[in-house]
Structure 1
Amino acid sequence: MELGGTKAIVLRAEGNAIAEQVTIPTTSPTETLDAAANLLRRWHAQAPFDALGIASFGPLRLDHAAADFGRMLPTPKPGWSGADIFGALAGAIDCPAAIDTDVDGAALAEARWGVGADDPALADGLCYLTIGTGVGGGFLSRDRPLHGAMHPEVGHIVTRRAPGDPFPGICPFHGDCIEGLVSGPALAARFGMPGDRIAPDDPRWDHVAHDIAQLVGTILLTTSARCVLIGGGVGMGRAALLDRVRTKVVAQLAGYLPHVDEASIGRIVRAPALGERAGPLGAVALALEALDAAGPLPSA
């Protein structure tokens, strides 16, 4: 299951081939998770699952030793703080299960079947950014998602603002952190209408490109990522915005990183190879991770 801030996608797959998927609106935790759990039970009764992968928006508690493992931590999404994501879904069926952030799942999928399959050198040191209802980042190091005290929360990094940009941001925690500046709801507040109704050549995109480039530059400087994929509803489908971001990343870094220049930036900052399939396939990748961790299946 891929649980997003606007919609949830429940799917079943064989390998990385999706056999069936159902979209559920993300409303309240009870309504959304109950609908998903009921669907999982019905499918599991028809053909038992080998494993379950849950790729969710965050922030999440991912420490298995914590009493609130698998629960949502304080989030701007109304009503979702404390929601027991893992318990509601993994508790519905009996099989190995794994939970991680949606961006970590998408990074794993891209490493397995996307940019990592096309260019294996990019799979280690891969960053997957999603810019949509919120802003999140998943990082792979030695083919594993990066976890520590929790998982990276790049959406709430505060970066240098563009000169002359008066937009105050909308994050209830930090105001003008990156999520407060460039997420879908932030763009609607900034423009007075949804971003998909703004012409690609509108000069107001310049401040948005500046802010995204600030985030990308911060990631390149702090994590030495080999590749930054920009997905999500805001990130995908806007080639002109991605081009602006690339140009500004090179300008903002000012030659400090010798491997980042006009010739290389197209390989380093790019759209996901899997496109919109990266999120759902991220849940599949997590299910395969759970299956690998559980060991060989018993023989029939």
Structure 2
Amino acid sequence: MAEPKLLGGVEAGGTKFLCGVANEDGVVLDQVRIPTTTPAATLSAASAFFAKAQARHGALAALSIGSFGPLSLRATAPDYGSITSTPKVGWSQIDLLGHFAQTLDVPMALDTDVNCAAVGELLFGSGRGLDTFCYVTVGTGIGVGLLVGGVPHGGANHPEAGHIRLPRALGDQAFDGICPFHGDCLEGLASGPAIRARWGMPAEELPPEHPAWGVIAEYIAGLCASLTYIVRPDRIIIGGGVMQPIDMHARVRTALHKQLGGYDSSIAELDMDAYVAAPTAGDSAGLTGALAIAHRLVTRQWPMHWAIGAQQNSVSTLSKVS
């Protein structure tokens, strides 16, 4: 009888690392939430988790990591597998794959957190049945994951659409933006920290009638217009803390329809309610996507059979390493 194929996954975020071990049917057997502090402390805690999980459940067959970035994903690059010039203090030039390779001799994959979340949406959420779609997160940063032909797209490296420049929203010309690299790129204008810097309070404290929401919707719609013209996806899924107000997706749809201007009948006829969607795969979509990529490393195919069991056994309750 063949040995069970145990899979390891990491969702490496700027606030927390979610680590999990699942069986080949997508059932999570062990999991932990680790606060993102220093690289040494955070990565050591993650390695300790996988050591204990393997002692309980057996050896891993593969490990996949979905991380905040930017990342070096070209295999021939000298810093392949590393976080590069990130705004996250203390985390630039951290070799993620190299760290885990010190203790795990298994196939490994590294991709962006947004690409992993997109895979989670492909399996369980708003991306089901779609060939090509974008996953956008608007929170502490702005990231875009892209699935083309049902697989994450990387090209020479991963997309960084959160750092494009867009026309300034009406009445917003005076704000310089907060991106340490570009100033008034999209992330520098429309991320959660940009909202706090411009209006003096976090997004979750702004009242629904605050003019900030119209400005932010205009910028996110500008990103969606660019993605529409460049990628022509089947859908754009937008999540993240800044999108939490109940009418934000409607605001973005209205602004996007106006910005597209009726150009090209196939675009003009888009059903905006279906085209711009909220994520529905749940808070653990990123870790689920990482585990699915680990499954693909072993089997060369997506675990479409997880569609019932895995979501019910996904990361809903987490032990915590403090």
Where 1:32 maps in the other structure, the secondary structure is: helix
Percent identity reads: 44
Q: Check 1:263–1:152 CA distance in 2 against 1; reply closer, same or farther (3 A cut).
A: closer
Paired residues of 1:5 and 1:134 also in contact (CA < 8 A): no
Structure 2 distance, partners of 1:37, 1:142, is 33
Paired residues of 1:231 and 1:275 also in contact (CA < 8 A): no
1:70 maps to 2:78:
no
Choose the corresponding residue for 1:42, options 22, 27, 52: 52
| 2:225 paired residue number | 217
- Alpha-carbon distance, 1:260 to partner: 4.0
1:28 maps to 2:35:
no
Choose the corresponding residue for 2:175, options 167, 176, 180: 167
- Alpha-carbon distance, 1:262 to partner: 8.0
Paired residues of 1:200 and 1:241 also in contact (CA < 8 A): no
Paired residues of 1:167 and 1:190 also in contact (CA < 8 A): yes
Choose the corresponding residue for 1:57, options 61, 68, 77: 68
- Alpha-carbon distance, 1:210 to partner: 0.6
Where 2:284 maps in the other structure, the secondary structure is: helix
Paired residues of 2:126 and 2:237 also in contact (CA < 8 A): no
- Alpha-carbon distance, 1:30 to partner: 1.4
Paired residues of 1:124 and 1:142 also in contact (CA < 8 A): yes
Q: C-alpha deviations, 1:61-80, integer Å up to 9, x for none?
A: 11122221110111111111
Q: C-alpha deviations, 1:21-43, integer Å up to 9, x for none?
A: 32111122112111111111111
Q: Which residue identity is paired with 2:50?
A: L
- Alpha-carbon distance, 1:20 to partner: 3.5
Report which stretch shifted further, 19-28 or 167-176. 19-28
Return the TM-score normalized by structure 2: 0.85
Return the TM-score normalized by structure 1: 0.91
5+ long unaligned stretches in structure 1 = 295-300
1:9 maps to 2:9:
no
Choose the corresponding residue for 1:145, options 143, 152, 161: 152
Q: Which residue identity is paired with 1:12?
A: V
- Alpha-carbon distance, 1:112 to partner: 2.3
Structure 1 distance, partners of 2:82, 2:215, is 35
Paired residues of 2:30 and 2:53 also in contact (CA < 8 A): no
Q: C-alpha deviations, 1:254-282, integer Å up to 9, x for none?
A: 11143445860111111112032222212
Paired residues of 2:64 and 2:294 also in contact (CA < 8 A): yes
RMSD over aligned CA atoms reads 1.8
- Alpha-carbon distance, 1:212 to partner: 0.7
| 2:312 paired residue number | none
Paired residues of 1:272 and 1:278 also in contact (CA < 8 A): no
Paired residues of 1:157 and 1:177 also in contact (CA < 8 A): yes
1:179 maps to 2:187:
yes
Q: Which residue identity is paired with 1:100?
A: D
Choose the corresponding residue for 1:281, options 288, 296, 312: 288
Structure 2 distance, partners of 1:258, 1:239, is 30
| 2:95 paired residue number | 84
| 1:218-233 equivalent positions in 2, closer than 5 A | 218-233=226-241
Paired residues of 2:126 and 2:278 also in contact (CA < 8 A): no
1:126 maps to 2:138:
no
Report which stretch shifted further, 140-149 or 221-230. 140-149
5+ long unaligned stretches in structure 2 = 1-9, 302-322
| 1:297 paired residue number | none
